[in-house]
Amino acid sequence: MQLHIGADVSIPLDKILFVLNDKGMMPSTRAFIDRARKERRFTPCAGKIKSYVVLKERGRERIFASHIASATLEKRWRSEIGRAYLNEVAVLTISEGE
């Protein structure tokens, strides 16, 4: 399952640690993002940044900027999780009848 975060970028749901909103960010969180930029663990986006998706990749945190609001990303995440659950239930239902 993938989460589309804008443009042509999709991220596997199982690698996502958390999503940060760009507004109201604490200075320590901003420093975390700046450090990722310096260490080349940051992928920018086209357009104005509204959120950051933090994921675990090869044992390190990687940050993707997104022009999509964090609330919208959450809705997409919930939709994907719901779809996966329905697919699992459908498979279980079919399997039980065999």
Q: Give the pLDDT of the chain (98 residues) as one tens digit per residue.
A: 889 999 889 999 889 999 999 998 999 999 999 999 999 999 999 899 999 999 998 899 999 999 999 999 999 988 888 777 666 656 555 544 44
pLDDT of residue 83: 76
pTM: 0.80
What count of other Cβ atoms lies within 10 Å of the Cβ of residue 67?
Answer: 15
52 near 65, Cβ under 8 Å? yes
Determine the structural domain holding residue 75 and report its residue range.
2-97
pLDDT of residue 63: 98
Distance CA 31, CA 47 (A): 21
pLDDT of residue 89: 59
Residue 55 tokens, joined: 């994921």
Domains: count for the chain: 1
pLDDT of residue 86: 63
